[in-house]
Each structure stands twice: as C-alpha cells, then as structure tokens.
Chains A and B, each alone.
Chain A
Amino acid sequence: MIPRLPRLAAILGLSTTLAGCSNDPYFDFPIDSFYNSLLKRGGEPSQVSQQEIVETLSKSDLPVTFLGVADRESQTLLIGIEQNGPYDTYANANRQAITMRNGMITGTRGLSGDLMSTDEAALLSLVRARRSGQATYIQRFLTPEDVTEVLTYRCGVEPDKPVDVAMGLVQGKATEVVAACESADGPPFVDYYVVGGDGEILASRQWLGENLGYVAMHQLRR
C-alpha cells in the first residue's frame, strides 16, 4: 500500500507520464495521437472564403485548385507543386494532396480513405473529346487491412449542355459531360465534368470512393 500523500504524488506523476515524454524527436506518444485522431475524426469542417481565394491567387503564379469534400463539409485550396508527364500534383499546407490528369482526379493523399490510383485513359479521352461512348475505368484503394482493392467500372459518357465558366481566373465557354459508371465491385456513381474548349476539365463533381464520396473540384488558375 502506498500512503495517502505519496499516492497523490504518484497520481500526479502518472498523469505527467500519461502525457508521455521522450527525447526522441520521432516519438509519437500513442495516447496523444489517439485523442487527436478522435477529436479530429473525419477532419474539422472548414470552408474556403472568397477572401482566401483572392489571397491565394495573388500570393504566387502557381496553379490553384479548389476542392470540396461534401460528406465531410470540408473545403480547401490546393496549389500546383509538381508535374510528372500529364499528371499534376496539388497540395495544401496541411500536406494533403491530389493528383489530376487534365483536371480529372487520379489520386489523393492525406485525405484519409485516399484514392490511390486509377486507370483513366479511356474515360478521360471520351470526356475530353466531349463524345458519347463507353469506357472502362479502374479505381484503386487501400483497405484498412492495407490490401489494394481494385474496382473496375464500366462508364457510359454523354455530353450535356454548354455552360459559361467563371471561377477564379478561369473563364470561358465549356461543355458539361456526364459519366455514369457501374461495377460489380462497388457502388454506382455519376460524375459531372465541365470541359473547356481545349479539352481540359475546368470543374467537376467526381466520385472518389466510399470513404471520400463525391468531391467538387474547380480550377481557379491553370
């Protein structure tokens, strides 16, 4: 038995320990991360204001994209940080990133429940050409087990009405294209793409899997 006063001291000592300490810079105290993950579960709702858009656009000349994850009530502005062939990677200060090919999202990182990669060539080609047709489209995800899950979709693409685009510094005439996709591996979805005259997707509502749901993308500066 520990006498009463030392026991109190011991409790205080244990509370300090619960905060965990170490001189190791890489050490993540498990209970801290546990609370963080619980409190920040699903990401805090965040909205992008008009002022932030203006500020971000004026800060540099880099491409800027708006991304909204409807299910999480979360919006963010991403800045173009890298290009690899036809793929452009955009990221924000929280080290969240998306990769797009001609404006079609082909991967996300750091959003939790990320889309790892896609086989998008056939679908993208129809969408960019604003043509009707059928295309195979593949999405890959990691499961909680860390196994890659491959969902193969069959998509029907239809061009829709012409629209005028005026988002940030991206303006001009465009065409809406609808892609309706079905698969035996996953839920069906319908994507909307707003495709500019040069075949670049200027805005979209794209399905990024069951964890992210539908996300909205607007290019604000290309």
Chain B
Amino acid sequence: MAARAAKKAGQVGVLAMTAAGMLLAGSALSQPFPSYNTYGSPGLIDMPTAEMAPDATVALTYGHIAGSNRGSLAFQMTPWLTGTFRYTGIENFDDPSSVDGVYFDRSFDIRMQLLRETRLRPAIAVGLQDFIGTGIYSGEYLVATKTLPKGVKITGGLGWGRLGSYDPIASMGTRPATVLGRGGIPTYDRWFRGDIAPFAGISWAPNDRLTFELEYSSDQYDQETRKSDFEHDSPFNLGMQYRFNNDTQLSLYYAYGNTFGVQLSYPFNPKTLGVPGGAETAGLPVKARAPGSARDLGWTASLEGTEASVKQRLTASLDRDKLDLVGFDLSATRATVQLRNPTYGAPAQAIGRTARAMTRLMPASVEEFVIIPTENGLPMSAVTLQRSDLEALENDAAVEMLARTAITDAYGRGALPDLEEFPRFTWKLLPYYDYATFDPEAPLRIDLGASLSASWELRPNVVLSGAIKKKVFGNLDTITRESESKLPRVRTDYKEYATEGDPAISRLTLDVYGRPGPDLYSRMTVGYLERMYAGLSGEVLWKPVGSRFALGAELNYIRRRSFDGMLGLEENVTVDPVSGIEREIPDVNGHVSGYYAFGNGFHGQVDVGRYLAGDYGATFTLEREFANGWRLGAFATFTDVSEEDFGEGSFDKGIMLTVPFSIGTAKPSRGSDTFTIRSVQRDGGARLNVSSRLYEQVRTWHEPEVANTWGRFWR
C-alpha cells in the first residue's frame, strides 16, 4: 500500500546546517558512542548488546547487507531507554506487497537497560525489536554485556521470535503469526513467546579507531531464505569497524557464511553538538552607577524630554543587538520596556542584553527595570529586575540573578506608547523544500523551489501574512499510487495538491491576537489556513506565567481548497478514486489541548476533540526538549475510526525531530525546522495545520522556559 509519510515545507538551510553542526561537533564525551549493528541499535553485527549510548545520543545509520538496505534513526531517550526507527528495503523479495521485487518495511525497536555494568556485574538489557506492525524483524531479547580489560567486550543473550529461530534450546508457549488490526499495532501477543535460542558475541577494540567483532547469531533468516535468494550457511558473522574523527563509524561485515556487508553510522548528541555558548559577539557590559547618584531626581523636572531622548538611544542600542524596542515608559524610579526579539533562541539572552543596555542609558534614580517581551503585539510576561542586582551580580553565577528576578503576568501592562510605524511590512524570499517519504515506488521524493513570504502588521496584534511557493526541481508530482480510503479524503488527496499546485499559495491569513483576561491569550485566524484548507480558526489559551501546565481550546470552520493552490474553494466533499464513493468533510473541527512541561526536559501534550474527517479522539505527544532548541518526540492519535476503516497502520502515529538553525551557524536564531516521520499518512486522526497556534509563542516567555535558558542571561 501507498506508504507516504508526513510532508511539510521548510527552509533548505537546515539540511546544510545540520551537516555543519556535525562538522563542528565536539567529542568531549566521557562515555564513548557504542557500535551500532545492522538494525541501527547498539550491538555487534546483527545481534544486540546491552550497551546504552550516552544520554540523548541520536544515531543515523545506513547499511547494505545481503540484499537488505536499512536506514535507521536511534535515540537514547533516557540513560536507560533507547528507541529505534528503521526503514528497510529487501531486494528480490517474493511478497505480495513488494514493488518491483523490493519489499519495503518500517519498524520500531525499544530497549531498556535493567542493570548498569559494574566492576563485577555485566550490563543487562531487555529489548523488543520491530514491536509494532507487520513485524518482519519481530524478535525479543534479554542480553548481557561485560567490558573486560584491553578493549574486549563479551555479550551473551537469549532471543525470541526471529532472534530465537536458529537452534532453539527451549520454548515458551506459541507465537502467533497473524497481524493485529491493519498493522501498526504493538504486537503484544507475540512478545517473549515461542522458541528461545542463545546468541553470543565478542568485540575487541585494540585502539580508539578500530573494532573487530565476532558473533554467533540466533537468527535463522527464515523469511529471507523462503522469499528471496538469501542463503544462510553459517551462524557466525564477522565485523570490522573504523571510527573517524567526528565519530562516524564505517563497518564492514562478512556474514551468513557467504556475503559482505557495509554500514555507515553517524552518532551525534544534541547536548554536545555545536559551539558551546555560541560564537556571537559580546553584549554590552553593565554600567554601574556612581555611588549616591541614585538619589538625584533632578532630571525628573524634564521627564518627558529625558524619556524621549533615552527612548531614542535605547532603540539604537538594542538595534545593535538585533532587538526591537516596541514600547517605552519612564518614571522616576522605574523603566518599562516592551521588547520584540527576532533574534535570540534563548529568551534569557534577549532579556539579559536588554537589561544591560538599560543600565547604560537609564537615569541613575531608575532602580526597577520591567522588560515585557511581546509576540505578535501581545505582552507575554513582565520580567522585573533590580538595577542594583544587575550591577552587583554581573560577574557572578547566572543563577544568582535568576533568584532575584520576578517573572509575572503582563496582562494589562502592555498599554505603552507604540514606537513603531504601523502598518509594518516585511517580506522574505527563501528556498523551500517539500518531501514525501516511504512510497515504495520512490521511498523519498523531494521538491526544491523558492518561497516568497510577506507579513503586513496593521496593528501590533493584527497581522496579514502569506506565502507563495514555486517549484524549481523535484519529483513530488510523479506520485502515481492511489489508495482507497474509507473516510473523507482529508489528507490522502495529497498527490493532487502536489501535482496541480505549482505555484501555490501555501498560506494567506489575517490573524488577530488578544489578551482577553489575566493568564488568557487568544487568536482568531481567517483565510487560507494551510495548503488544503481555508476557513476560520479561533483559539483561547490559559497559561499562568509560572505554571508548567497550560490548557487551550481551538475551534475551526473549514472549506476545502482547490488542488491548484490558488484562491479557489471547493465543496467539502471528496470522491474516492478507487471506490468512487462521495464523502463529506464536516465543516467544524476542534480540540481541547492540555500541555505540561515535566521540567526534566520532557514535555507532554494531549489534544482531545474532533478531527478533520469528523472522527473523535485524542492525540498524545511526548517530546524531549533541549535548552538549545533540539527536540525529539513521538505522537499517536486514537480516534473512533476502526482499524479497518483507518487502513494501513491502524492509527496515526509518528516521530518528530526539531533541529535549531543555530546549530550549524553558531549564531543565535529563533528558527528551527521540524521533520515529522509518519509511518503512513491516512485520513483518520488528521488535524488542521494552523501555523500561528499560541502555546509555543506564549510559553517561550514564561518562567519555566526563561529559567531553562538562564545560563545565557549574561551571554
């Protein structure tokens, strides 16, 4: 079946920059990266080990062995939990779902460390391989690995399923072979059932560069032997690995007694990748007041005149730090600044630079600085700092200043005079890319082109914005696969949009933002909301400034857009190209969303409501976020659509990877790009894509997030 995953537009830069970030990678890790096996998990050749990568490690692997091409992404979610996503193409595979003889498969692994290695005890881990879906690689294992002197590591384990197929020594019940639902469901009925076989291995690293591996594999490769020209002549596999300076591993294998294989693995760590502290220029130093000068209020006789001149100088000073002063208010002892930050990914850095500029320009009697960051004209929080603290703590640990900083709700405090000329018009011309993955006829399709976007701010909180894109190269329009859907085709008509829409208006909306009350934020959006839908979208968010929890609600009224990507609208009715059945897309959808920042880098979100196709249900999202902007996460949506009606995959799920732009440039940036990998894009559990949702804008300036990046306050 068509296996097309998420598709989204973004800026080409991030690909190049990720590469740059990788070049700049610092290898100052105390714990080295482990070797990755041909399934993309820490291991030997085909067999796993009990090793864990350093916390937060992301590893990309690509290898070819015995007709199997495997690419994978592994993430060390916590120090004791690893997840792997893998995409495989097996050549000359005799299966009904093979395309031109190639069988494509997506699979997920998870492994947990049960015991850490000590001087005497080996590390012990338990793992589920290919534990969701059709399960061609389905197998479970319990494995122990012990590090010995002179670079030797020994591994032994027991395997079930695929890993229990060669010379089993015992059995635990029977292992069902049927696929649950329409695939895509955890195969809990199989786990640790059926034959059990032992496996073992040894690796020897004579130096930091080279590793030699030998394993005894408990996999009999039944499916490959039966369905392709694979031959299993020996359970012993050999491997050799070379590590380059940037930790890239090149592995060569001699496996199954008859074949050679090769793999490239690139592990990196979002915690250690990039220039520590960034390479941007210094901010201004604090200017301490002369002793006793704070008592001089003589200047207040010409308060207005002073206010105007200070405002002008502060605007110029912030401008050098690429910050925008959008409002200013001065009294004898307090200065209030409304700030816009187009530059710094770390909110604390924008606040810190503004505060330091203020110490240089405010009259000496001004003791209290109130900095009110704004997004789309809305005051997001009020950060109150005492000038004497700034003077006293400039050369201390940053936490000292955090302890003396108050972050409060800015509701009702935004009514300062606006400095800027409105309306304000900005435009950008940038390259863009679009992609579609996992179509067996072309596993990756890419479009490259130019995107012209513009934004016209009529008032600070009223924004008319849009983007139009034109393809230059690409093959997204070559998608030919058609799959039947039992639901209104809210997303599966993607092909039509890709082939007919060039150029296309990606988005054209009028957004009105507001603060209806304390802790409340609102948005009303009208226009062409996304590539497939136009309409009206309203959102309200409740988020106390110091809270880890937020609650939001969104209601949308939609009209389907024409395939050509221009201004036309269609009836909310789709016709299935396979069955010819007409189905109606409901006009109204919406969600209630709960957000929670767990505080240890984990962030959760639950959206409950009605989806595009009219199905009701909930989406669960869990992400691990890093202060520098990296995010990795996964989501799953369960709705009242049955597995049969949903089709391939049974329910909507996927993983997300967000890469901050600053990683490759070492310059501060608020930009990032998110890659979403869905196993299959179907019509069930599909949400409207509204680009201006409130939560991310709001939480940036709230206490948990500001405190998280506080190390950059003095940067």
Bound Cα distance from A42 to B286, whole angstroms: 27
The 8 Å CB contact of B627, one of A2, A21, A147, is A147
* A28 proximity list for chain B (CB < 8 A): 343, 665, 667, 669
A-B contact pairs, 30 of them (CB 8 A): A13-B450, A22-B426, A22-B427, A23-B427, A24-B342, A24-B427, A24-B428, A27-B342, A30-B14, A31-B431, A33-B665, A34-B16, A37-B279, A37-B664, A38-B23, A82-B285, A84-B286, A84-B391, A84-B394, A106-B395, A109-B283, A112-B666, A116-B711, A117-B395, A117-B714, A141-B276, A143-B271, A145-B626, A146-B711, A211-B276
The 8 Å CB contact of B281, one of A41, A96, A140, is A96
List residues of A whose CB falls within 8 A of some B CB: 2, 7, 10-11, 13-14, 16-18, 20-24, 26-31, 33-34, 36-38, 41, 81-85, 87, 89, 91, 94-97, 99, 101, 106-107, 109-110, 112-114, 116-119, 140-148, 150, 210-211
* B11 proximity list for chain A (CB < 8 A): 30
Contacts A24-B426, A116-B398 given; indicate if A99 touches B285 (C-beta within 8 A).
yes
Bound Cα distance from A181 to B74, whole angstroms: 39
**In the complex, the 6 A-B pairs of residues with the closest C-beta atoms, listed nearest first:** A109-B282, A30-B13, A95-B281, A142-B277, A33-B665, A112-B279
Q: Are B281 and A34 in contact (CB under 8 A)?
A: no
Classify the interface of chain A: helix, strand, loop or mixed.
mixed
* A33 proximity list for chain B (CB < 8 A): 665, 667, 669
Residue in A closest to B452 when the chains form the complex, CB atoms? A17
- Min CB distance A83 to B, Å, is 8
- Whether a CB of chain A sits under 8 angstroms from the CB of B661 is yes
A10-B472, A144-B273 known, 20 other contacts, Cβ within 8 Å? A13-B472, A14-B472, A20-B430, A26-B324, A28-B667, A30-B14, A37-B24, A37-B666, A85-B391, A106-B395, A109-B283, A116-B715, A118-B395, A119-B397, A142-B715, A144-B628, A146-B627, A146-B628, A147-B627, A148-B399
Q: Are A210 and B715 in contact (CB under 8 A)?
A: no
Contacts A14-B450, A81-B285 given; indicate if A146 touches B395 (C-beta within 8 A).
no
Q: Are A30 and B288 in contact (CB under 8 A)?
A: no
List residues of B whose CB falls within 8 A of some A CB: 11-14, 16-17, 20, 23-24, 26, 28, 270-283, 285-288, 322, 324, 342-343, 346, 391-392, 394-399, 425-431, 448-450, 472-473, 626-628, 661, 664-667, 669, 671, 709, 711-712, 714-715
Q: Are A117 and B20 in contact (CB under 8 A)?
A: no
Contacts A22-B429, A38-B20 given; indicate if A84 touches B279 (C-beta within 8 A).
no
Q: Are B282 and A144 in contact (CB under 8 A)?
A: no
* A106 proximity list for chain B (CB < 8 A): 395
* B664 proximity list for chain A (CB < 8 A): 30, 34, 37
Q: Are B428 and A116 in contact (CB under 8 A)?
A: no
Residue in B closest to A96 when the chains form the complex, CB atoms? B282
Q: Are A145 and B472 in contact (CB under 8 A)?
A: no
The 8 Å CB contact of A143, one of B276, B280, B324, is B276
- Min CB distance B467 to A, Å, is 13
Contacts A85-B288, A117-B395 given; indicate if A37 touches B665 (C-beta within 8 A).
yes
Q: Are A87 and B271 in contact (CB under 8 A)?
A: no
- Min CB distance A16 to B, Å, is 8
Contacts A116-B714, A145-B271 given; indicate if A110 touches B282 (C-beta within 8 A).
yes
Q: Are B17 and A30 in contact (CB under 8 A)?
A: yes
Bound Cα distance from A18 to B451, whole angstroms: 11
* A91 proximity list for chain B (CB < 8 A): 282
The 8 Å CB contact of A87, one of B28, B395, B450, is B395
Bound Cα distance from A29 to B17, whole angstroms: 12
* B392 proximity list for chain A (CB < 8 A): 85
* B24 proximity list for chain A (CB < 8 A): 37, 41
Q: Are B397 and A148 in contact (CB under 8 A)?
A: yes
Residue in B closest to A1 when the chains form the complex, CB atoms? B477
- Min CB distance A31 to B, Å, is 5
* A113 proximity list for chain B (CB < 8 A): 275-277
Q: Are B23 and A114 in contact (CB under 8 A)?
A: no
- Min CB distance B421 to A, Å, is 14
Q: Are B288 and A84 in contact (CB under 8 A)?
A: yes
Residue in A closest to B324 when the chains form the complex, CB atoms? A26
Bound Cα distance from A211 to B16, whole angstroms: 24
The 8 Å CB contact of A142, one of B28, B427, B661, B711, is B711
Contacts A10-B472, A23-B427 given; indicate if A112 touches B450 (C-beta within 8 A).
no
The 8 Å CB contact of B17, one of A14, A34, A110, is A34
The 8 Å CB contact of A20, one of B288, B322, B429, is B429
The 8 Å CB contact of A112, one of B17, B278, B346, B669, is B278
Q: Are B430 and A143 in contact (CB under 8 A)?
A: no
- Min CB distance A149 to B, Å, is 8
* A101 proximity list for chain B (CB < 8 A): 395
* A85 proximity list for chain B (CB < 8 A): 288, 391-392
- Min CB distance B160 to A, Å, is 38
Bound Cα distance from A65 to B240, whole angstroms: 53
Q: Are A146 and B665 in contact (CB under 8 A)?
A: no
Residue in B closest to A91 when the chains form the complex, CB atoms? B282
Q: Are A107 and B628 in contact (CB under 8 A)?
A: no
Q: Are B671 and A30 in contact (CB under 8 A)?
A: yes
Q: Are A17 and B286 in contact (CB under 8 A)?
A: no
Q: Are A30 and B277 in contact (CB under 8 A)?
A: no
The 8 Å CB contact of A148, one of B391, B628, B711, is B711
Q: Are A27 and B282 in contact (CB under 8 A)?
A: no
- Min CB distance A153 to B, Å, is 15
Bound Cα distance from A119 to B393, whole angstroms: 12
Contacts A30-B669, A96-B281, A117-B397 given; indicate if A144 touches B426 (C-beta within 8 A).
no
Bound Cα distance from A125 to B666, whole angstroms: 36
- Min CB distance B153 to A, Å, is 26
Q: Are A23 and B426 in contact (CB under 8 A)?
A: yes
Bound Cα distance from A95 to B626, whole angstroms: 28
Bound Cα distance from A92 to B336, whole angstroms: 31
Residue in A closest to B56 when the chains form the complex, CB atoms? A145
Bound Cα distance from A101 to B428, whole angstroms: 46
Q: Are A99 and B395 in contact (CB under 8 A)?
A: yes
- Min CB distance B31 to A, Å, is 15
* B399 proximity list for chain A (CB < 8 A): 148
Q: Are B397 and A109 in contact (CB under 8 A)?
A: no
Bound Cα distance from A143 to B14, whole angstroms: 21
Contacts A97-B285, A143-B276 given; indicate if A14 touches B427 (C-beta within 8 A).
no
Contacts A34-B20, A144-B271, A146-B346 given; indicate if A14 touches B449 (C-beta within 8 A).
yes
The 8 Å CB contact of B428, one of A22, A97, A114, A144, is A22
Bound Cα distance from A37 to B665, whole angstroms: 5
- Min CB distance A168 to B, Å, is 23
* B394 proximity list for chain A (CB < 8 A): 84, 87
The 8 Å CB contact of A210, one of B28, B281, B450, B627, is B28
The 8 Å CB contact of A94, one of B281, B391, B428, B628, is B281
